[in-house]
Amino acid sequence: MLRWIRQQLGFDPPHPSETRTIHVANRFPRHGHYTPQKFADNRIISSKYTVWNFVPKNLFEQFRRIANFYFLIIFLVQLMIDTPTSPVTSGLPLFFVITVTAIKQGYEDWLRHKADNEVNGAPVYVVRSGGLVKTRSKNIRVGDIVRVAKDETFPADLVLLSSDRADGSCHTTTASLDGETNLKTHIAARETAVLQSVDNLDTLLAVIECQQPEADLYRFIGRITVTQHTEEIVKPLGPENLLLRGARLKNTKEIFGVAVYTGMETKMALNYKSKSQKRSAVEKSMNTFLIIYLVILLFEASLSTILKYAYQAEEKWDDPWYNQKTDQERNSSKILKFISDFLAFLVLYNFIIPISLYVTVEMQKFLGSFFIGWDLDLYHEETNQKAQVNTSDLNEELGQVEYVFTDKTGTLTENEMQFRECSVNGIKYQEINGRLVSEGMTEDCLDGTRQSLNEEEELFLKAVSLCHTVQISNDQPDGLRDGFLHANGISSHLEYYASSPDEKALVEASGRMGVKFNGTDGESMEIRVLGKSERYKLLHVLEFDPNRRMMSVIVESPSGERILFTKGAESAIIPNSKNGEIDKTQLHIEEFALKGLRTLCIAYRTFSSKEYQEINERLHQARTALQQREEKVSDAFRFIERDFVMLGATGVEDRLQDKVQETIEALRLAGIKVWVLTGDKHETAVSVSLSCGHFHRTMNILELVQQKTDHECAEKLRQLVRRIQDDHVIQHGLVVDGVSLSLALREHEKLFMEVCRNCSAVLCCRMAPLQKAKVVRLLKTSPEKPITLAIGDGANDVSMIQEAHVGIGIMGKEGRQAVRNSDYAIARFKFLSKLLLVHGHFYYIRIATLVQYFFYKNVCFITPQFLYQFFCLFSQQTLYDSVYLTLYNICFTSLPVLMYSLFEQHVHPHVLHSKPSLYRDLRKNALLGFKPFLYWTLLGFSHAFIFFFGSYLLMGEDTSLLGNGQMFGNWTFGTLVFTIMVITVTMKMALETHFWTWIHHFVTWGSIGFYFIFSLFYGGIIWPFLHTQDMYFVFVQLLSSGSTWFAIIAIVVACLFLDVVKKVFYRHLCPTSTEKAQLAEAGSGVGCLDSMCCFTGWDATCLPPRRMLERVMGRCSPARFNRCGISLNCLCCRNFIYKLENEEPAAVEV
């Protein structure tokens, strides 16, 4: 019960030790007093609420917001003291906001509950009491033996015991966990692999010791102790033995596994953890504005309270004959009365704080995010992938980016490797028509004879064909069975799967050149050398890791020789090599890198029987250790991977993605600095940077590489600073490697930042994942506080994606880790330009105007209330009826600004995309700075003064505005001010709107019409549930006066006239680049479909269809024209050009 309570409260019970002991099939020792460890059940809980805690937990979360908490306090004050307005005026809007948010969050959580119930109720088969028992997934316990069939997902984290294969291996795909679609091979311990039936498993006596749960998908440390005939056999367990929950069984009929982690302790569930909350600059500005308006509110309430007591100092106003005080009022405490009056004024003016701002912003962000997914320009047809929004809280941040940090491989490049060249024994080779040809030979030199390989070439290709983790999928339904795919030596269709595209490209190239990899059965590997089959016994695999930067295999050749084959980075292999053509190979590697090729070194080493026995013992001890296993394994690998004989090197090409150069140039024109962070070597990274336009040929390239000490690094940085100051070059580029960067960030951050600020492009090579995040954090926390964006496609990019203000994942070939941890995901790097320059621009403009407008209309709303107190002796008499107070923000003025924030396009999207410099107008939160905020606030106050005093001067004290001589009263005056205000703030929104659709017309004129219809209805009926009928027939009488209509039109025009004059004045004297674009667009009539009418004679003909198509299509894309059956070639030329002052024209393909 206590455990359940702790789970409901979100507390995880502490684990008593660093390891857990699991008795397979829950066969606990029968002797002694053994107390089994307690483990979590197998229920997955992704929901946030339960039936019992939804209301309190949701209310607590919502009232943490300052605006909601403020209105709650106001509502409670209205309940406790006598205030001029009904508690409904604060309670109803608050209830509306809280309810809408609660319904949204409750619905989302209900969907999570529904998904959880589906998963937890899925049928599974468990071995219990000597037979297979069908049960639900949630009933699986740690220690249960579970059977999983082909194409089923694993219901818990299982240690593989056996499969239908003799070697106990199976294939899985982890696409739902990390997006990788390649098949992964898992193996069982030999002692359990033979137990392929339920009866045999029922006799198994085994204990598993392993680490406590952790989130890392690729790390598992444990050992299994199997008791056979009173003898205990200990075998190591690693990631290759663990089947993860959520993965799917492939090419294997069935497997049996024992559950080691269940429910919320599985690796999949531990990766559910939410990312750190990112807050946009707009949200921070919004909170600042709220505090400022709260100060204004307190000032108005304090001033009103003081002036009230100043007026009441005169006896005739303190106790007038028509409103004499009671004895209780005369004897009440002065201090309590002062506090009560202050709170009453606070309630009277409280609507200056816009409670509906938060819910409107949430709706705008949520609904607006759909436009990214719907944009066909961000859709990649080849892979059938559209843009994806993982969080809508940062939409406007896309319009504020100043630095872009990008990975290279898979982000700027295709991550599709093609073998180009290699170096074998100091001689360069290339592939021509599937043959390995030395440098200097051409296709004409090749005769028709069968290809032959010398001893060095054959050994090199054997190393490439054996040293890898490539898997094979065959067109046969069950793939690999007991033995090899092609026992008869005849190969059908082989398809390779690899986690690394480099490995796949090398194995395929080796097969074309005569040494073909044919498959593995877990213990042996088969290759065909010029048609002759050879089998190598696989003794050990030394897995790749980023610290060693290499991977190795130890095999036993058909002749019985034990050989270590290694491939990896030259920085790791060359220092550990002692024989072979090392110098020539290194020279060839540098040549390959200058061509932009990705390079790998290939080496080997042979072992004597004594040497192999020693390393075998070292590996066994390291891999069976439960404590510090990784350090011990690393030491063992270092002991083994040395004294290499250099075989050669490979060079594979990773071609650039489409339109990378144009995208980087567009970002540069937009004022965005691009940094490339890559793990590639220096020469390769520089070559790719030049080819993709990140570095220009005319750019002055500065280098901070191969620094050994702090002093040397500091001196080099000072030299670079002096060089930047002395060189009169417009643009500088900086190249820095990982080692030098570590030294620079250790004690010389300021110097390094000074160099970086003066460089328009920076390239960081040989970077570790955490170094990428450190670089992002360095810029992010610099004094300028720039907005940063990180984009990458692999697991090594996750840290920088999470560190940056905005993280974007590329749906590439390195899995989906980056996509899962990103804020947005796109299929190609080229889509980044439209995402920022168009969507980001629009989102920022929309939400900035929304926030400013909300504060403006609430100043307009509440300032007349404040001014009215000067005319009623601060008696706290309200100017507006309570219903108007309640519905102003909810109904009368809410829809126009919401529609504006969803659909506004102040400049045509194609203009924004083709003119990146317009992006600069938004930098540093330009539209939500102090000056725009002051303008909107003063505009609100000025309009409020015109509303109030315009209406007051019109009426005067003795003016009769009705035909029967009847005078207007208090409620009529307030209704007149309110009517003018609703029309003015709605028309102000109309003036701000540049892009009009039928929706805008409907909500703009519909809001005004709804106000009039509602007022006539509300004032035309006697409502029995209201205590007073103050508004009965007031609105009808008001509209029956011609003077009222004159006042409404005159005051609305007076308010908006000043705003129009200001706009015209500024646009002609000091227009921004955006306003110039608007003028150019309006002057030339440039639109998406205007480009179809390039010839003067066609103007009149094209105008009607152009307007019609613009309404129907909303935007211009070749795909849409093709769907509509319209040929651009038959209508006009294919390019249209925008030209703004002093800038080069940019042509846009339509």
| Residues taking part in catalysis | 407
What value, to the nearest 5°, has the Cα angle with vertex 297 and ends 296 and 301? 115
- H or E, element range at 535: strand 532-545
Residue type, 990: A
Q: Percent helix, strand, coil in the chain (nearest 5)?
A: 50, 20, 30
HSE-CB for 860 with a 13 A CA cutoff: 28
Residue 212 near residue 15 (C-beta atoms within 8 A): yes
CA separation for the pair 725, 1064 (Å, rounded): 43
CA separation for the pair 227, 141 (Å, rounded): 22
With CA atoms as reference, report the closest residue to 788 among 406, 399, 401, 275.
Answer: 401
Residue 651 near residue 420 (C-beta atoms within 8 A): yes
Residue 151 near residue 250 (C-beta atoms within 8 A): yes
DSSP string, 103-155: HHHHHHHHHHHHHHHHHHT-EEEEEETTEEEEEEGGG--TT-EEEEETTPBPS
Residue 617 near residue 610 (C-beta atoms within 8 A): no
Name 431's bridge partners. 436
Residue 516 near residue 510 (C-beta atoms within 8 A): yes
With CA atoms as reference, report the closest residue to 178 among 796, 931, 867.
Answer: 796
With CA atoms as reference, report the closest residue to 880 among 136, 444, 350, 193.
Answer: 350
Distance of CA 995 to the CA centre of its chain: 29
List C-alpha distances in Å: 748 to 123, 697, 710, 762, 779.
Answer: 60, 29, 8, 17, 14
Question: Could you tell me which residues come within 8 angstroms of residue 87 by beta carbon, excluding any fewer than 6 positions away?
Answer: 75, 78, 79
Q: What is the largest CA-CA distance in the chain?
A: 124
If phi > 0 it is left, if psi is from -120 to 50 it is alpha, else beta; for residue 744 that is: alpha
CA separation for the pair 341, 301 (Å, rounded): 9
- 1004: burial class by Cβ within 10 Å (0-12, 13-18, 19+)? buried
Place of tokens 């199997």: 226
Residue 644 near residue 604 (C-beta atoms within 8 A): yes
Residue 161 near residue 201 (C-beta atoms within 8 A): yes
Residue type, 474: N
DSSP type of residue 960:
B
List C-alpha distances in Å: 1040 to 462, 967, 992, 1046.
Answer: 98, 13, 32, 12
Structure-token pair, residue 1013: 């219809």
